Chain A
C-alpha cells in the first residue's frame, strides 16, 4: 500500500520494534510481511472472519482493519506471544479438547479467547460465544472450542509418549501436528515466500460469458515500471486443459479467447511485489464482448448452445441406477408421496484462501501450496506446462480447510507458468473475492422424487431425478452425477428403484467436490419424503426408518450384497431414547400457545468410501533409521481432519511400536508415495489400510530378521531394535545394518486399492467396498412470527466401524453438522453478489447447538481394524433432519434451501392458507 513511509515504534509481544512503513499499511501486513509473524492469518481482509485478531493495548481488534499508524506506542500481542516458554493453559486446552483442526482460525481464536480470559477467567458458555462470535471456523463446529475455553485450566491431556505399543488405535492422543497449530508456527500457503519472489495477479472475467481480446501488453508494461510480464493462454507450453477426471479435462488454465464464467482467469501479471501491490487492474488492456449466457440447467439444457463441443444439451454426463420395476411398485403401493426440492450453490468458505508459490530447482518446478491432492496437482500442472510429471514436485503446505475445493488445481499452473517462464519464484495468495469467484462450489440441485410403501410400512419403490448445475467446466460433475443415483435411496432397502443424476453445464461457477459429492442434496429430497410417507402411513418417523434400514445380507439398489458391517439400524436404534425425550419436550412446549414452536427431526446417511467403481489406491511407506526413529511417509494430506494422527495410529499398532517412536514425512511428491486425494472419506479407510499393510509388512521383515514368530514383541531402545518372544530376547544394533537408498535399516511399502466392480448400464455392480452409516436427531425451535430457527440440540449416532481416534471422530461429526446447518439455514452463494464473508453467511459460534455424539462400532472386515470413513457422512443427515424438524414444529414444507427466515415464514404462511 502506498503513502510515504513514516517511522513507527511499538511493542510486539513484549519486545520493542521500530519500522519505517506506510502509516496506512494494514497491521496484518506489517506483522506478516515486515516482521515475519505469520501466525496472524488473513482470511478476508474485511473484518468478516477474525482470523487476523490481535490484542492492541488489551483489546482485541482485526489486524486487517488496523492502520499501522494506530499502533504507534501501543502494545501488540499476537499468537506468537501467547506461549511463554511453555504453551499457555489455553493453548494446551485447545490441544486437549481437539479444538484445532486445520488450524487456520486457531491463532485468531486463541488471541480472542486470551483477551476474554484475562478479563473474565471463568466465562460461561454464552460469554465465550459472545466473545468469539467474530471469529469464523469452518472445520470444528465450534463445540470443542467452547469447551476448550470454558475448561482452559483443566487437567493435562493424554501424552503420546504414555500410550504403549499396540494401544494407539482407540486412543485420543493430542494430534501429532497439534502443537504447531496452537503456536502459530504452522506454515500455510501464504506463510512462506522466497525473498526474490515475483508477485502474480490474475486478470479475471467480470462477465458470465464473453469473448475477449487482450490489447497492447507492451504499452501496458512500459507504463508500469516493476511489472515484468504478462502471460496469456498463448504462453502455455502444454495442454491448456486441466480437470480432476482426465477424460473430462476441459478447463483452460488461462482462457483462450472466450470465458464461460464470471471469475475465469484470462491473463497473469507478474512483477515486483511493490509494483503489483500498487497496480490497479482496471489499467489492464482488455476488451470484452459479452455473449448470451445461461445460468440455470433448465435454460441450459433446452434453449442454449453447448458450452463445450460434443456435450449436447449441455449435458456433461448422467448417472443411472435401476432395479426392479419402480413404476409398478409405486402404482401398487399402499401409500406414495412425491415432491421436489431445490438447493443453492454452496461455497466451501475455508478460512484460508488459496495460496502458495512456485520456484525452479534445477529443471524441476517446485510448487509449494495448500492442497488436498498433491499427485493430482502434479499431473495437472505438468500437463498444462508441458513438463513430464517427474519434473514437477508438489510440496503441500498446511491446508487451511479444503472440504473438496482444494482437490482441483487453482493457482498451481498459474504460478508454475510464471516461475517456469521467468526463472524467478512466483508467489500468489488469492484474495477472498478471488477465491470465491474462481474456485468450485457445491452443485445446486433441482430434484424430484416419489416413494411408495406397502401397508406394513415397507418401502416398495422409489424414483428420483436430479439436475445438478455443474457450472462452466467439468471438475467433479461426473462424480456427483454418478454418486447421487447410487445413494439417493438412503440406507434403506428399496427393491424397486430408478434414479437419474445429470450434471448440466451453465455459465455459473464451476461446481466440484464439496463434502458429500451431491449426496447431501439428494438426501434432503429422500429424507423429507420419508417423513411425509411415515405420516401418511400413520407410523412413527423413527420406527419407519428402523423398519426399512438395510441390514447385513440385503442388497443395495445397485444389486450389491452387503455381507456384513451394515450399521444403520444400530445408529437409528441408539436414537430411540433421545427421540422419545425430545418429542415429549416438544409436545410440552407446544401445548402452551406462543410465538415459538418446537420440532424434532431425524434423518440418516450412508456413504460409500472412496471412488465410485474406479481404482483408488493409496501407498504408504515407512522405514526405521539407524538412530531408531520410525519414519512414516504419510502422503494422505491432513487438511485438519486428522489423517496425520489417525494413519499413524493405525500403522503403529500394525507394526507393534508405540506412537511416540514415529516421525512423519508429509505429502511431498519427491519423497512420499501417492496416498491419493483427501476426499471421498477415503483416508482413514484406504490410506489407513495401506498404512496397516505397510506396518504389518515392516513388522514381518523385522520378525523374520530376528527369526521369531508373529507373537513376538518389538521395541526400540536408543539405536537398538529389541525383539522378544518368551525367553528369546534379541537386540539388533540398527547402525550395524546395511541401509537402503532412503537410509533405512528396515523399510516396507504397501499399496491398497478397494475391491470395487464397475457398474453396468443399469448401475448394477459393486461401486464401493466399504460404506459408513449414521443418523442424526435435531431439536429446534421455530419463531412462527419471524421464521427464524433456533437449534437446540443435535444428537448424532455414527457407525465408524472402529473409532481409531474418538476425539478426532467427534471433531469430524461436529464440523460436518456445522456445515449441514449452513446448508440448511443460511448458505446461498450468488455469483456477483455474495463474494465475501459478510454477504455469504456461514455458521458462527452462536449457530451451532450442543451436539451429543454416539460413536457406534460395527466393524467392516475390509477396513483397517474395522474402520470406515466418516468425513462426509457427518454432513449428510443434518440438513434433512433440520427440515423435518421445521415441518414437525410448524407443518411448513421447505422446497428450497437454505431455509432462510423469509422462506420459512412463507412456508408457514402457506400452511396456514391451505384449506
Chain B
C-alpha cells in the first residue's frame, strides 16, 4: 500500500501477463543483478516487476501467487544513497526515507524530511524508497508534493539511453508513469537552484500515524527583507496527480510575507480536482487544502503554524 515501489505495470496487467506466461509454460524469472548495465540488459529482454523496498510489491501481490518476472534491484549498490554534483543533489533510486531523514540537507528539503517522517511507519521508512514512491504513482504519495516544490527530476535509464524528466511529467495519472518498456528509474535529482529558501509540509489524515493522506501540502519560500522573492507550492491527494499551484505562486511573488494569508484565502485553487472517497469529500478536501497550504507556507516562512492536529 505505501508507495515505495518500482512498478512499470498495473496490477491487472501483471495478472494478465501472469496468465499468458503460464499458458506459455513460462517459469517465473528472478534476477538480482549487482551491475546496473546488467540490470538494464535484463530489462531490455523481458518484462519484469521491480522489487526494491518491497513496501508496495508485497501489498500489491497480496496472497496471490507470484506470476511475472521479478527484477530485484537491491543488489545495485550504485543506486543507494544521496550524492551531490555541481548542479544537482542526487537521491539514488534505492535510497530509503530513513536515509533521507538522516542525511544533512539544506532547509529547502525540510518539507521532504517532514514528509519522510509521515510515510507509513518507521518500518516502512526503513524499507521504502523515495523513487519507489514516485513509481507507484499513488495520488496520495507523500513524497510527491515536497519533490514537486524542489523541481525534482527523474533520471530514467534503459540499455539504449538515459533521459531525465521533470517529476510533473513523470507521473501521468493515478498509478501511471512515463516509464516505458525496458526503462527503470535510477535517481531522483534536485537542481541546486531549486534547493534554496526554506520549506514546510503539512499532512492531513484521520489518525496520528500510519495513515494515508486526506490532503497534504508542501511549500518552499525564498524571502528577502520581508518580501516573498519566490514561492513554490504543491498539494497532494486533491487530484489524480499532486499539483504545483502556479497561480498561487505567481500571486505570492513580490508580496510581503504578512500578505500571504490573505492571498491564500483569496485564491481559487483551479489546479485541484478532488474527489469524494472514504477519507473525505471533495468539498472538504478543497477547504482543507486552503488551510494546509497556508500552514505549509507559514512553516516555510519560519513561523509556527497555529492550529490543531493535522495528521
Contact = CB atoms under 8 A, between A and B. Distances in A.
Interface string A787-801: 111100000000000
B59 A46 contact: yes
User: How many residues of B sit at the interface, in one of the four size bands?
Assistant: 35 or more
Interface string B179-201: 00000000000000000000000
A66 B72 contact: no
A46 B123 contact: no
Contacts of B273: none
Interface string A775-792: 000000111011111100
Given A65-B54, A826-B206, A841-B207, A833 B278 contact: yes
A788 B30 contact: no
If over half of B's interface residues share one DSSP class (helix, strand or loop), that class is named, otherwise mixed; here it is loop
Contacts of A826: 206-207
Contacts of A6: 30
B74 A67 contact: yes
B306 A846 contact: no
Contacts of A900: 206, 279-280
A493 B98 CA distance: 58
Contacts of B55: 47, 62, 65
A450 B251 CA distance: 53
A60 B278 contact: no
A22 B51 CA distance: 14
Interface stretch (B162-170, B210-218, B222-230, B252-260): B210-218
A61 B123 contact: yes
Interface stretch (A272-280, A478-486, A757-765, A850-858): A272-280
Q: Which of B15, B66, B122 has the most CB of A within 10 A?
A: B122
B210 to A, nearest CB: 5
B278 A834 contact: yes
A335 interface: no
B267 interface: no
Interface stretch (B84-92, B239-247, B281-289): B281-289
B66 A838 contact: no
B124 interface: yes
B288 A50 contact: no
Contact of B292 (A50, A65, A781, A786): A786
A50 B120 CA distance: 10
A843 interface: yes
B121 interface: yes
A4 B29 CA distance: 8
A847 interface: yes
Interface in B8-57: 15, 18-19, 27-30, 32, 51, 53-55, 57
Interface string B54-70: 11011100111111001
Nearest to A791: B309
B72 A24 contact: yes
A901 B210 contact: no
A438 interface: no
Given A134-B121, A277-B65, A594-B306, A901 B74 contact: no
Contacts of A144: none
B51 A596 contact: no
Contact of B211 (A2, A786, A841): A841
If over half of A's interface residues share one DSSP class (helix, strand or loop), that class is named, otherwise mixed; here it is loop
A554 interface: no
Q: Which of B28, B66, B126, B280 has the most CB of A within 10 A?
A: B126
B287 A59 contact: no
Contact of B127 (A62, A279, A783): A62
Nearest to A781: B308
Interface string B87-119: 000000000001000000000000000000100
Interface in A226-285: 277-282
A154 B120 CA distance: 31
A787 B310 CA distance: 9
B307 interface: yes
A564 B206 CA distance: 44
A280 B308 CA distance: 47
B281 A902 contact: yes
Nearest to A6: B30
B204 interface: yes
Nearest to A784: B308
A844 B207 contact: yes
A2 B117 CA distance: 34
Contact of B124 (A62, A834, A846): A62
Nearest to A46: B59
Contacts of B1: 46-48, 836, 838
Interface string B127-160: 1000000000000000000000000000000000
Contacts, number: 200
A441 to B, nearest CB: 16
Interface in A865-915: 900-902, 905-906
Contacts of B54: 65-67, 70
A53 interface: yes
B291 interface: yes
Interface in A424-439: 431, 433
A311 interface: no
Nearest to A906: B284
B309 A134 contact: no
A788 B284 CA distance: 12
A69 B72 contact: yes
Contact of B278 (A45, A48, A828): A828
B161 interface: no
Contact of B66 (A1, A59, A62, A789): A1
A872 B124 CA distance: 34
A131 interface: yes
Contacts of A60: 122-123, 126
Nearest to A828: B278
A786 B203 CA distance: 12
Contacts of A65: 53-55, 57-59, 123-124, 127
A569 interface: no
B122 A133 contact: yes
Given A59-B98, A788-B204, A134 B307 contact: no
A134 B122 contact: yes
A787 B279 CA distance: 13
Given A46-B1, A902-B284, A431 B122 contact: no
Q: Which of B63, B122, B123, B211 has the most CB of A within 10 A?
A: B123
A502 interface: no
Given A2-B65, A65-B58, A839-B212, A131 B310 contact: no
A645 interface: no
A609 interface: no
B70 A24 contact: yes
A86 B291 CA distance: 53
Contact of A66 (B67, B127, B309): B127
Nearest to B30: A3
B288 A786 contact: yes
A838 B278 contact: no
Given A45-B63, A786-B288, A838 B123 contact: no
B6 interface: no
Given A47-B59, A788-B308, A902-B284, A23 B206 contact: no
A379 to B, nearest CB: 31
Contact of B288 (A841, A843, A901): A901
A64 B57 CA distance: 11
Interface string A709-734: 00000000000000000000000000
* 5 nearest A-B pairs in the assembled complex, by CB-CB distance: A134-B121, A846-B208, A783-B308, A133-B209, A902-B284
Interface of B: 1-2, 15, 18-19, 27-30, 32, 51, 53-55, 57-59, 62-67, 70, 72, 74, 98, 117, 120-124, 126-127, 204, 206-212, 214, 278-281, 284, 287-288, 291-292, 306-310
14 contacts: A47-B120, A48-B1, A61-B123, A62-B123, A64-B58, A69-B74, A133-B122, A781-B308, A782-B308, A783-B309, A788-B309, A826-B207, A834-B278, A847-B208
Given A2-B65, A61-B126, 4 more contacts: A280-B67, A839-B212, A844-B208, A901-B204
